[in-house]
Structure formats: structure tokens, C-alpha cells
Structure 1
Amino acid sequence: MAKTPKIKVTKESSTGLNTRFKVRGKSAEVPRTKLVNEVKQGKHPEYHVRSNGRVEYVASNPDGSKRNNLG
């Protein structure tokens, strides 16, 4: 059985960029830039940071499951 995602998207921009997130265990929403920094620091080992050349964003590590992807 797939695990429930630790991070859930709560807000997107008009272009579809995920901008705010709910992290399980935290009461407040987290902005994208803070979440990117947390992932880089190793606080969320199930996720990694990607870049499209302009913007860094968080993605779940590949494991073959669609259930635990961000979205």
C-alpha cells in the first residue's frame, strides 16, 4: 500500500506553479522557497529539488506510485 504524501500542494499560481504547501506535522502552510530550502537541507528525504532554469521546485522521488506525487 502506498504511503500518504508527506507534502501536499495547497496553492498554485495562475500558470500552475505550486506556490504553497502543507507539510504533515506542521500547522502552518509553507511557501515554495522555504520548502525548497528544507529539501536541500535534507529535512524531507522523500523529495528532491528540480529547476527549469529559472525556478526551483520540489518533486517527489520516483518510486513508481502516482498516489504520493505532489498535486
Structure 2
Amino acid sequence: MPKRVSVTRESETGRNLGFHDNYTGTNMNRPQFVRQIENGNYPHHHVRVINGVKTPVSNPDRSTRNNLG
């Protein structure tokens, strides 16, 4: 089974900017993915504020299926 979410675009500094839900086929930018996580639609991910920017991250666990990247 593929990862649920893949990163599709990064900035020059490495910040993840674009995301693809491999289960639904949905493409999202960072604010859209943050909103979906905050709404509880991606329970294996959470939002951190990094340098003042809400950033989606996967929950720390042993699973590699939910890792972003």
C-alpha cells in the first residue's frame, strides 16, 4: 500500500509546499493541507509552527507509510 501523502513541491530552502493524497488523488498546497489536518482529515499528521509558518508534519511513530517526503 502506498504512502497516504506525498510531497510534490519544495521551496529552495526545503520547505514542503505541495502535497498529493495518493488515496484520493487530491493535490493540495501547504495551507490547504494544514486546514485538512486541523479539520481532522489526516489523523497521522499534525501541524507545527516553524519560523512563524504553519507546517504539516507526520506524527512521530515507527510507521514509514505516513512520512512526508
Question: What TM-score results when the alignment is normalised by the length of structure 1?
Answer: 0.82
Q: Which 5+ residue runs of structure 2 have no aligned equivalent?
A: none
RMSD of aligned Cα (Å): 1.7
Question: For 1:2-61, what per-residue CA distance to the aligned partner results, in whole angstroms no more than 9, with x for missing partners?
Answer: x64211001001111000000123334210100000000001111111111411111111
Residue pair 1:4, 1:68 contacting (<8 A) in 2 also = no
Note if 1:16 corresponds to 2:8: no
The count of residues paired between Structure 1 and Structure 2 equals 69
Shift of 1:67: 5.2
**Pairs within 5 Å for 1:27-66:** 27-66=25-64
* Fraction of identical pairs, as percent: 38
* Residue aligned with 1:50, SS: strand
More strand by share: 2
Q: Which 5+ residue runs of structure 1 have no aligned equivalent?
A: none
Amino acid at match of 1:55: V
